[in-house]
């Protein structure tokens, strides 16, 4: 293949990803509001405290020295979105005084709107751009991962399948955590795939292990449930290196470097932990369990294992879940949902992926169709592990909780379609040979 042909292919790839990015950005204004957006934008005021004379206000203290609810939000949620979103609205000329209050879940939409609990349209747009740009960049990284694992056509299909997931579009366009989660998980998968391929070739270096650790730490700082992906991905890479290398001391040293980098970047991005209070980990775990229990008791969890299984398999390709709490929201968002769903830039119906059983069969084919390489095995095992973790641990049928599966769904879908195309091409060629 000539350099000119390669250059043209790279230009086409860049144009394709650019068009997908424009598609993501095109819907930012039209996405129906979620109450969590107000709370996340409210918490983005933490960016104002990133100064030597203010930083201590972000630290964990027992008893709290700030509003206990605010301290809990800092401990329960990833900080990357708060700081990234805050930096963006500061660049756009907003001040902390322009930022709304957090959503009041004990009141209705009208009360939140009239008492300053809903951001202005301009502020909401700027805050949403953080998540949308993160989602856009995650698409480009997914494309790069797919090109390392499958033919170029499969990479195109994987990126398209990823961007056309209604749940990803909805939450990736909102001022939510999901954009930060997706881009950090993609960086983790990309660095792990690169490292695995280099281990297989005997060309891995300390920098590759360091990059995996940095991506893992950033993923944990984006949202704690990213651990469901971080643990299997990092664990698989370490085990593969231990099995392949004869120098166990070297392998253990590289694994320790990754672990230290993970912890270091997580702490660096989590000022709430900087007080070095030894009770922080146990407090976070207790808060997380209390939250899960209260949400399950208030909103209702799964009735049986069948519902859990159905959610784990289909939530990521199902119609978008505009709200998780039914009280009032169907009426409050009815018109904005209608306007969102009739927008001309929506290329697919918002009823979810057509024929989910067939889509799941394609994904299953993708599991088999990926090459028999260590990097492909990393994706296979991580996908299954994440699916099982969500199946067993997720207490609520809330669609956004299943979005860590989106990268795996897209990659395996691309591999499955590529395999079907190859089979079809061979069948057509065999028919031509027989006809001749």
Residue 248 confidence class, pLDDT cut points 50, 70, 90: confident
Q: What is the pLDDT of residue 326?
A: 87
The reported pLDDT for the residue numbered 353 is: 61
Q: What is the pLDDT of residue 351?
A: 57
* pLDDT recorded at residue 280: 92
Contacts of 80 (CB under 8 A, 6+ apart): 180, 184, 218, 221, 222, 269
Going by pLDDT thresholds of 50, 70 and 90, the confidence category of residue 191 is very high
Compute the average pLDDT of residues 100-108: 95
Mean pLDDT of 399-420: 95
Predicted pLDDT of residue 347:
52
What DSSP string runs through 385-426? HHHHHHHHH--S--GGGGGGGHHHHHHHHHHHHHHHHHHHHH
* Pair 99, 175: CB distance under 8 Å: no
**Residue 292 pLDDT level (bands cut at 50, 70, 90):** confident
Residue 144 pLDDT > 70: yes
Confidence of residue 5 (pLDDT cuts 50, 70, 90): confident
CA–CA dist 400, 169 (Å, integer): 11
* Cβ contacts of 232 within 8 Å, gap of 6 or more: 381, 382, 385, 386
Residue 436 has pLDDT above 80, yes or no: no
Q: What is the pLDDT of residue 429?
A: 87
pLDDT higher at 351 or 90: 90
pLDDT in tens, 294-350: 888 888 788 899 999 999 999 999 989 999 988 899 999 999 999 888 876 665 555
pTM equals: 0.94
352: pLDDT strictly greater than 60: no
- Residue 299: the pLDDT is 81
Average pLDDT estimate for 212-219 = 98
- C-beta of residue 226 within 8 angstroms of C-beta of residue 233: no
What is the sign of the dihedral through the CA atoms of 376, 377, 379 and 383? positive
Q: Please provide the average confidence, as pLDDT, over all residues in the chain.
A: 92
| Mean pLDDT comparison of 72-81, 123-132, 161-170, highest-scoring range | 123-132
Residue 355, pLDDT > 70, answer no
Q: Is the pLDDT of residue 17 over 60?
A: yes
pLDDT of residue 296: 83
Find the mean pLDDT for residues 263-269.
Answer: 96
> Residue range 274-281: average pLDDT?
89
pLDDT at 1 over 80: no
Q: How far is CA 352 from CA 29, 165, 321, 402, 422, in A?
A: 21, 7, 10, 14, 27
pLDDT at 151 over 60: yes
């Amino acid at each position: 293949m000539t350099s000119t042909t390669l250059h043209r292919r790279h230009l086409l790839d860049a144009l394709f990803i650019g068009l997908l990015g424009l598609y993501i950005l095109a819907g930012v204004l039209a996405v129906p509001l979620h109450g969590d957006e107000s709370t996340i934008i409210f918490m983005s005021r933490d960016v104002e405290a990133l100064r030597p004379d203010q930083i201590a206000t972000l630290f964990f203290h027992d008893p709290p020295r700030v509003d206990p609810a605010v301290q809990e939000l800092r401990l329960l949620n990833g900080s990357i979105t708060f700081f990234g979103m805050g930096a963006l609205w500061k660049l756009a000329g907003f001040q902390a005084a322009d930022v709304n209050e957090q959503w009041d879940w004990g009141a209705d939409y009208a009360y939140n709107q009239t008492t300053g609990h809903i951001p202005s349209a301009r502020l909401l747009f700027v805050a949403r751009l953080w998540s949308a740009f993160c989602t856009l960049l995650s698409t480009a990284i997914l494309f790069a991962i797919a090109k390392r694992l499958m033919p170029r056509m499969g990479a195109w299909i994987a990126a398209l399948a990823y961007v056309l997931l209604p749940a990803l579009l909805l939450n990736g366009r909102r001022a939510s955590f999901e954009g930060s989660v997706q881009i950090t998980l993609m960086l983790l998968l990309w660095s792990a795939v690169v490292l695995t391929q280099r281990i297989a070739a005997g060309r891995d270096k300390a920098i590759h292990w360091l990059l995996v650790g940095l991506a893992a730490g950033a993923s944990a700082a984006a949202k704690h449930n990213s651990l469901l992906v971080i643990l299997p991905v990092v664990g698989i890479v370490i085990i593969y290196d231990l099995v392949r290398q004869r120098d166990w001391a070297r392998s253990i040293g590289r694994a320790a470097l990754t672990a230290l980098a993970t912890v270091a970047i997580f702490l660096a991005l989590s000022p709430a932990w900087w007080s070095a209070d030894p009770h922080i980990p146990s407090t976070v775990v207790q808060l997380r369990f209390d939250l899960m229990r209260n949400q399950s008791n208030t909103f209702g969890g799964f009735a049986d294992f069948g519902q859990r299984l159905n959610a784990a398999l289909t939530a990521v390709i199902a119609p978008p879940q505009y709200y998780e709490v039914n009280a009032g929201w169907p009426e409050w968002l009815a018109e904005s949902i209608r306007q969102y769903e009739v927008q001309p830039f929506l290329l697919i119906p918002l009823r979810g992926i057509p024929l989910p059983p067939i889509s799941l069969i394609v994904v299953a084919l993708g599991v088999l169709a990926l090459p028999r390489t260590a990097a492909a095995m990393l994706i296979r095992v991580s996908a299954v592990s994440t699916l099982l973790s969500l199946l067993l641990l997720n207490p609520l049928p809330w669609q956004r909780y299943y979005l860590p599966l989106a990268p795996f769904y897209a990659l395996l879908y691309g591999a499955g379609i590529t395999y079907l195309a190859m089979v079809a091409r061979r069948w057509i060629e065999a028919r031509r040979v027989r006809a001749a």
